Amino acid sequence: MNTQESIQNGIQNAFKEHFEVELTKDQISLVPTRKEFEGTYTFVVFPFLRSTKKSPEESARLIGEYLKDNVPEVVDFNVVKGFLNLVLGNASWIDLFENIRSNPSFGQKPSNGQRVMVEYSSPNTNKPLHLGHLRNNFLGYSVAQILEANGYEVIKANLVNDRGIHICKSMVAYSKFGNNETPESLGIKGDHLAGKYYVLFDKEYKKEVQKLITEGKSKEQAEKEAPILLEAQNMLRLWEANDPEVVALWKKMNSWVYEGFEETYRKMGVSFDKYYYESDTYLLGKDIVEEGLKKGVFFQKEDKSTWVDLSSEGLDEKLVLRGDGTSVYMTQDMGTADLKYNDFKLDKSVYVVGNEQDYHFDVLFKIMRKLGRPYGDGLFHLSYGMVDLPSGKMKSREGTVVDADDLMDEMIQTAENHTKELGKIDGFTPEQATELYEILGMGALKYFLLKVDPKKRMLFNPQESIEFQGNTGPFIQYSHARIKSILRKAKQLGIEYKSTDFSGISSLHESEQNLIFILGEFEKKIQLAGQEYSPSVIAQYLFDLAKDYNRFYADVAIFQEDDPLLVSFRVALSEMTAKTIKKGMGLLGISVPDRM
RNA sequence: GGCCUUGUAGCUCAACUGGAUAGAGCAACUGCCUUCUAAGCAGUAGGUUUCAGGUUCGAGUCCUGACAGGGUCACCA
C-alpha cells in the first residue's frame, strides 16, 4: 500500500469514528499541497460538511488529529479554512524513494492485452512535408510510445495518399514542363521535385483561368474548363483504367517521393509498422454500403446515390456513395476501418488527423457504430490544431509553407552555432559533435511542438519560437547531461549507491523531498497522458522534474557532504532522475545526450 | 446563417478535470561561476482569466447570452 492509499484509508476510518459516515475511496481525493503552505497532500473537507455537521476548521482538525495518531506516514498537519494539509515524515519519503527505485519496470505498465493502431503522418505524394506534418508525425509517434508504456500493443500505421486528382496535377505539370528532370539531375529530394511541379501546376492553372475570363467566360466556367485541369482529370481516368504510360509515370514519380519521405522520416526519428496505400484501398467500402442498405442504416435517393441519416444524432444527412456508384472519401474510410480491424483485430484505433476533419470523423465513427462494428467504441480521432505562422495560414499550393526538411536542418544548424558559442565541444570527436547537434536541434523542435495541448492551434514564429533556454527540450536535455556528469564523478570517486540502504537517513532537504515527490508522480502522468492522448502532459511533467532537479542541484552540494550515506543517497536520487528524464523524453521521441 | 472549437501577463503556454493568494518560460530589470556543466539558480516587475448574467461553501474551469478569432457545413482528400 502506498502513502496515498494509507492516508485515504485513514480518512475513511476517521469519518467512521468521528462522524459515523462510510466513504468510498474514490470520494476521497488528495491534491498536492500548494507551495506556500506546509505539507505534501491536502484534503479538502468542504464537500463533506453535510455529513460532519461541524465547521470546516473543526472537521479538518478532527480528521487531522486522527491521521496523526493512526497513520504512521503522517507526522503533522495544519488547517487553513477547510483545507487539511498533511505533513509526511522522513521515513515515508525514504520509503517512497526505495519503492520507486526498486521497481524495475518503472514507467512501463504490464501488458493489458489490448491492441491499438495509431495511424499518423498519412502524407500526400504530390508534395513534401511541412511544419504541420511535423506536428502530426511527432504527435503520432509520441502517442504510440505513450500507449505502449500504458500496456498496449501498438501498431503504428501510415496510410499513404498516393492517388487522386491532386497527384495527377503534379504528374501533368511534370510531363508538360519536366524535360525529363530527375532528383539526381536537379540534386534535390524526390518529394521536393514533385512539390515543385504541384506549385507549377497551380500557377499554370491560374494563368489559364485568367485567360479564359478575358475571353469572356465566367469565373466558374473558366475554373472548370481550364485545359490543364481537364488534362489532369483525363489523366486520373487513364490511371483508373490502368493506362500503362500513366501508371509508369505515376510509379516513377511516387518512387522518387517515397525516397524523399524515407529520408525525412529518418531525420524525424519516426517509424511505421504497417503501410497502407490509397491506390490499394480506394475501392473498398462499397460492400459496406450494400450491407448498410440491407440493415436499413443507409437509404437511396432517386438518383441512386446512397446516404446515411444522422439527424437523430444531431448531424445531417451524409453521402456515402455517389449515384454512379463511384466512391467518396467516406466510402473509402469505412472500408479502411474494416480492413485495419481484419488485419489486426484491434481493440482501439486512433486517427491522428487535423481538426479540420472533426466533422468527417464524427460521421465516420457514428456510421461504424450504427453498423454494429465490434471496434466501434474503440475509434478515436486525435484531432490537433493547425500550426500558424505570423503571416497566417500555410498553403502548399501557394508555396507559403515552412518546409519540414529545411526547418529541421535549420534547427540543427542553430544548435551547432549555439553549442559552439558556449564552447562546449571540448573532447568531442567530429562525429560525436554532429550527433549532439542533431539531438539538440531535433529535441528543441519536437519539444516545442509537443509541449502544447494537441487540441489547440499554435503559433510558430521562425525568428523567435524555438529557444534553447527555459521551457525547452535542451533545458531538459541539459539537466540529464548534468546528472550524467555527476554519475561519472561518483564512479571515479568509487561511491557505492546502487544497493545502499537509506533508511538511516534522518533529515532530508526540502528540495530532496520535492524531487522524490515528483519522481513518484511519473506513472500517474503516463497514465493521464495515455487517457488523454496528450504528450503535452509528459512534456510539462519533464519540465517540472528538470526544474526541481536543478533546484536541488543548486541547493545541496552532493560531494561536499560529510555523511557518506547522504552522498550515496544524493547520487542515487540523481540517477533516478536521469532515468526518469530519459524514459520520459523517449515517450516524446526525444533523445538525451550524456554530455553537452 | 447552422454546428464545432478557441479566448488566461507584452509574447508563447500551464493550471492535477469545481478548490486556497491564477502559475511557468521568453522579453525587461537585480544578484550568483577559485568546489559537482551558468543551456543553470535566486529575486523584482508584469492579471478585472474577452464581456454580462447564472449555478454554490467556492468558478479560469459548469450553464445562458453577447463579442472576437479559427474550422466545418463538397458528389475534394
CATH (domain of A503): 1.10.730.10
- Do A223 and A122 share a domain, yes or no? yes
CA A55 distance to own-chain centroid = 46
User: What does the pLDDT average to over A303-314?
Assistant: 88
Average pLDDT of the residues of chain A = 92
Let me know: does A487 contact A544? Beta carbons within 8 Å.
Answer: no
Instruction: Enumerate residues 6+ apart whose C-beta is below 8 A from A164.
Output: A236, A278, A282
* Chain A residues 441 to 500 with C-beta below 7 Å from nucleic strand B: 451-453, 455-459, 461, 464-465, 467-472, 474-475, 478, 481-482, 484-486, 489
* CB A34 within 7 Å, strand B: yes
Cell 541539459 -> residue: A478
CA A272 distance to own-chain centroid = 15
pLDDT at A27: 84
Secondary structure of residue A153 in the 3-state scheme: strand
User: What does the pLDDT average to over A242-254?
Assistant: 95
User: What does the pLDDT average to over A256-267?
Assistant: 96
Nearest nt (C1') from A465 Cα: B12
- Do A322 and A344 share a domain, yes or no? no
pLDDT at A540 exceeding the cut of 90: yes
A594/A481 Cα distance (integer angstroms): 5
**Is A331 within a domain?**
no
pLDDT at A437: 96
Nearest nt (C1') from A595 Cα: B37
* CB A520 within 7 Å, strand B: no
Let me know: does A30 contact A109? Beta carbons within 8 Å.
Answer: no
- Do A535 and A470 share a domain, yes or no? yes
A424/A412 Cα distance (integer angstroms): 15
Q: How many structural domains comprise chain A?
A: 4
- Do A299 and A267 share a domain, yes or no? no
| CATH code for the domain of A24 | 3.30.1360.70
Chain B positions within 7 A of any protein Cβ atom are 3-6, 11-17, 19-21, 24-27, 35-42, 57-58, 69-77
* CB A540 within 7 Å, strand B: yes
**Is A102 within a domain?**
no
pLDDT at A564 exceeding the cut of 80: yes
**The domain boundary residue, chosen from A301, A326, A351:** A326
pLDDT at A1 exceeding the cut of 80: no
**Is A447 within a domain?**
yes
Instruction: Enumerate residues 6+ apart whose C-beta is below 8 A from A434.
Output: none
- Which residue has the least CA–C1' distance to nucleotide B14? A540
User: What does the pLDDT average to over A320-334?
Assistant: 91
Report the range of poorest mean pLDDT among A189-198, A316-325, A536-545: A316-325
Q: How does pLDDT run across A42-61, given as a tens digit for each residue?
A: 999 998 988 888 889 999 99
* Chain A residues 274 to 303 with C-beta below 7 Å from nucleic strand B: 278, 301, 303
- Do A265 and A276 share a domain, yes or no? yes
pLDDT at A245 exceeding the cut of 90: yes
**Is A95 within a domain?**
no
**Is A358 within a domain?**
yes
- Do A375 and A425 share a domain, yes or no? no
**Is A107 within a domain?**
no
Distances (CA, A) of A145 to A148, A353, A368, A525: 5, 18, 27, 14
Domain that holds residue A71: 3-88
Share of chain A above pLDDT 90, in %: 77
- Do A74 and A123 share a domain, yes or no? no
Report the range of poorest mean pLDDT among A21-30, A138-147, A560-569: A21-30
**Is A94 within a domain?**
no
Q: How does pLDDT run across A135-155, given as a tens digit for each residue?
A: 999 999 999 999 999 999 999
Q: Beta strand A458-459 with A153-160: parallel, antiparallel or unpaired?
A: unpaired
pLDDT at A465 exceeding the cut of 80: no
- Do A206 and A242 share a domain, yes or no? yes
- Do A174 and A237 share a domain, yes or no? yes
- Band of the pLDDT at A522, cuts 50, 70, 90? very high
| CATH code for the domain of A184 | 3.40.50.620
- Do A429 and A557 share a domain, yes or no? yes
pLDDT at A221: 85
| ipTM higher than threshold 0.90 | yes
**Is A157 within a domain?**
yes
- Band of the pLDDT at A529, cuts 50, 70, 90? very high
Q: How does pLDDT run across A93-136, given as a tens digit for each residue?
A: 999 999 999 998 999 999 999 999 999 999 999 999 999 999 99
Q: Beta strand A41-44 with A30-32: parallel, antiparallel or unpaired?
A: antiparallel
CA A293 distance to own-chain centroid = 38
- Do A511 and A526 share a domain, yes or no? yes
pLDDT at A398 exceeding the cut of 90: no
Nucleotide B34 C1' to residue A385 CA (A) = 52
- Do A302 and A208 share a domain, yes or no? no
Let me know: does A118 contact A140? Beta carbons within 8 Å.
Answer: yes
- Which residue has the least CA–C1' distance to nucleotide B20? A83
